[in-house]
Amino acid sequence: MNTQAEEMGTAELSLRREGRRRVAGGTLAFLKNHAPFNKMASEPLQIFAERAQLVFHPAGSEIVGPNSGNVRFFYLIESGKVQARQAGEVTVTEYSILSLGAGESFPIGAVTAGRPSTNTYTAVDDVFCYQLPAEDFMALMTSSPEFNLFCTQYIASLLDQSRRQLQLQFAQRANEQQTLNSPLAGIGSRSPVTVAPHTPLRAALETMSAAGVGSLVIADEDRLPVGVFTRSDLLDRVVLADLPHDVPISRAMSAAPFKLEEHASAYDAMLLMATHGIRHVLVTDAEGKLTGVVSERDLFALQRVGLRQIRQSIDGAHNVETLQQSAADVRQLAFNMLAQGVGAEQLTQFISALNDALTRRVIQLNLERHNFDGIDWCWLAFGSEGRDEQTFSTDQDNGIVFGVPEGQDAALLKQRFLTFALGVNQDLDRCGFPLCKGNIMASNPQWCLTLDEWMEQFSNWIRVPQPEALLNATIFFDFRPLFGQAELAETLRRHLLAQTSSNPMFLRAMAHNALDVEPPLGKIRDFQTDLEPGQPGKIDLKKYGSRIFVDVARIYALATGVHNTNSVQRLRLASKRLSIRDDEINAVLEGLSFIQLLRLQHQYLEGEPGTQGDNLINPDTLNELDRRILKESFRQARKIQTRLKLDYQVH
């Protein structure tokens, strides 16, 4: 026993000596081969080399985990493999295990926040790790811009990981929702190529060739299918069997073809194909007569709704009923894009663009019953639609600006516009855009105004920034022309920017108002989840998340004369004029992007068909990766709020 203990002690001593030798002789050389250390100045690099300790972890040992308490070290892998395993149940995305190798570090989020790790990090094989105390890590973050930027970009890389995982989850759901539930009546070829059973083989082959198809349906005179002939049959049953070309096609066909009725689902067809190893299923009516053919390729093609198809459907719609289906198709196509990994900024703009087209068509259909020839007017979009930021859940926010031709009665003209607007608002409601609960709609006399009245209204809100005026500013100052004379809207925008840029007191009042809501970051727990009455454990991602970025973007845009209404564009353009560093604003935009992505995900997954999903999310249902990014996103919201507070001296 003593000999065994001595051998173990000798081995441990040997490992310690090996560790010290490596630290003394190779730390700087190793660091210079890995980011971000290869870009760092010599002084902070030397500090890392002096204060980091090289520690050995045998294969199978836990390096750090949720039960280790607040993380005390930043780890950098020198050699070996480390496995990061999600602790607890995975609920929203399929993130569970990450593999880390030489030059990679962990757990950045936990050591930055001074909290326990929510991952368990285990040595896959024998591992050497540089171990830097948390206080030295924080000092390095302060002293080295390169190291600080690396940690910021690390969060961005996690965001990319989250998007990829979300893509996988949604791709599977998209496949199930469209492919499995669609009725066969609307899938595949509705005019299948057929021949009679007695048709000579050569004639049947010539029919296939002329039609450019890979299969034939053999049907009798009553269109009752009796067989199928495919290209694979040509090899097996004709060429290899040396079948004469003058025999009837019934000699070469596959008899008793697989059939399903039109009301069956694509899932039934897929199951039939998988069970019997076939590539085509015949579709029949209730009497057994052939109405179509569904192929394996048709089922794959089901997974996408065509943009061109939707636009043609919208632009060619002659009634609201057609537009109702188009609105559902817009939602489905947006969902597919989410499944394909499209970013939140692009997706919300895409949804807004198609909703714009749908709104314009509703307006055009209603104009068939109204005549405004010779009158300058414009339909305005406010709120999220005005910012090109519509999500799956959105109601109406709109208005009308018009001019009064000489000799016409303004009151009578306004009444005509109100009657017209009421029809548009009702039709939009039928298409899935609920009537605004606050009555911010063009059919409300308050928001159907002449250009002079709108300019006077804006001036009054800016001149006397009472609470109601500030609330109205957050809605109406995000306006965009949708239909009619866009120059009216541009004239109104020039007036608005001239008023706000020359009135710092109004901007300060808006800043004070914007700072009333803070990101829900907890002092003890990660998040505050007791802010929503009657919704314990939940956070409103719009009220406490995206709204914060939107409010700051609006203020900086008004202050710097930015004409854009989209929040991302406002922040990008205003940051240039305010000399905000690119890396700083990019981190802010990544935070906004992730929150918008979570909103889109939640609204689609939680919203029932035909209803509007909400923005209430329980962070405990998120996995470790998404919780970490959400917390970082809220930190970015707090950072941009802190800057706003300093810029406008709000206490």
Q: Does the pLDDT at position 498 exceed 60?
A: yes
What is the spatial distance between Cα 503 and Cα 473, in angstroms, rounded to a whole number? 14
**DSSP strands (E only) in 423-546:** 448-450, 480-484, 539-540
Greater confidence, 431 or 176?
Answer: 431
% pLDDT > 70, the chain: 84
pLDDT grade for 163, boundaries at 50, 70 and 90: low
pLDDT grade for 610, boundaries at 50, 70 and 90: very low
Angle at 385 between CA 469 and CA 444, to 5 degrees: 55
What pLDDT score was predicted for residue 473?
94
Q: Does the pLDDT at position 609 exceed 90?
A: no
Antiparallel, parallel or unpaired: β 259-261 and 280-284: parallel
Q: Does the pLDDT at position 341 exceed 90?
A: no
- The pLDDT tens digits for 449-495 are 999 999 999 999 999 989 999 999 999 999 999 999 999 999 999 99
Q: What is the CATH number of domain 10-161?
A: 2.60.120.10
Residue with tokens 């007791």: 530
Q: Does the pLDDT at position 300 exceed 70?
A: no
Greater confidence, 62 or 86?
Answer: 62
CB 476 within 8 A of CB 565: no
Query: Where are the domains positioned within the chain?
Result: 10-161, 188-301, 503-651
CB 111 within 8 A of CB 74: yes
Per-residue CA distances from 126 to 21, 86, 122, 160, 599 (Å): 17, 21, 10, 30, 42
What is the spatial distance between Cα 120 and Cα 68, in angstroms, rounded to a whole number? 10
pLDDT grade for 340, boundaries at 50, 70 and 90: low
- Which burial class, exposed, middle or buried, applies to 179 when counting CB atoms under 10 A from its CB (0-12, 13-18, 19+)? buried
Of the candidate ranges 50-59, 295-304, 511-520, 559-568, the one whose mean pLDDT is the lowest: 295-304
**74's tokens:** 């930043």
Q: Which residues make beta-bridge pairs with 128?
A: 56, 79
What is the spatial distance between Cα 393 and Cα 410, in angstroms, rounded to a whole number? 36
300 Cβ contact list (under 8 Å, min separation 6):
none
Residue 107, preceding bond cis, omega within 30 degrees? Answer: yes
- The pLDDT tens digits for 90-144 are 332 233 456 788 888 999 878 887 888 878 999 999 999 999 999 999 999 889 9
What value does the mean pLDDT take over residues 576-592? 89
Q: Does the pLDDT at position 166 exceed 70?
A: no
CB 283 within 8 A of CB 292: yes
pTM of the model: 0.60
End-to-end CA distance of the chain: 70
**395's tokens:** 């109601």
CB 65 within 8 A of CB 121: yes
- The pLDDT tens digits for 225-251 are 999 998 888 888 888 888 898 999 999
Exposure b/e, 537-558, CB count within 10 A at least 16 = b: ebbbbbebbbbbbbbbbbbbbb
DSSP state of 613: -
- The pLDDT tens digits for 382-439 are 998 899 888 776 789 999 999 999 988 999 999 999 999 999 999 999 998 999 999 9
Q: Does the pLDDT at position 55 exceed 70?
A: yes
Exposure b/e, 219-228, CB count within 10 A at least 16 = b: beeeeebbbb
Residue 36, preceding bond cis, omega within 30 degrees? Answer: yes
CB 138 within 8 A of CB 71: no
pLDDT grade for 72, boundaries at 50, 70 and 90: very high
Residue with tokens 């992505």: 597
Q: Minimal CA–CA distance to 31: which of 74, 76, 83, 73? A: 76
Q: Which CATH superfamily is domain 188-301 in?
A: CBS-domain (3.10.580.10)
Per-residue CA distances from 395 to 130, 255, 398, 437 (Å): 54, 55, 10, 9
What is the spatial distance between Cα 574 and Cα 631, in angstroms, rounded to a whole number? 25
What is the spatial distance between Cα 43 and Cα 40, in angstroms, rounded to a whole number? 8
Greater confidence, 147 or 10?
Answer: 147
What is the spatial distance between Cα 651 and Cα 646, in angstroms, rounded to a whole number? 9
- Is 503-651 CATH 1.10.357? no
**DSSP strands (E only) in 382-424:** 398-402
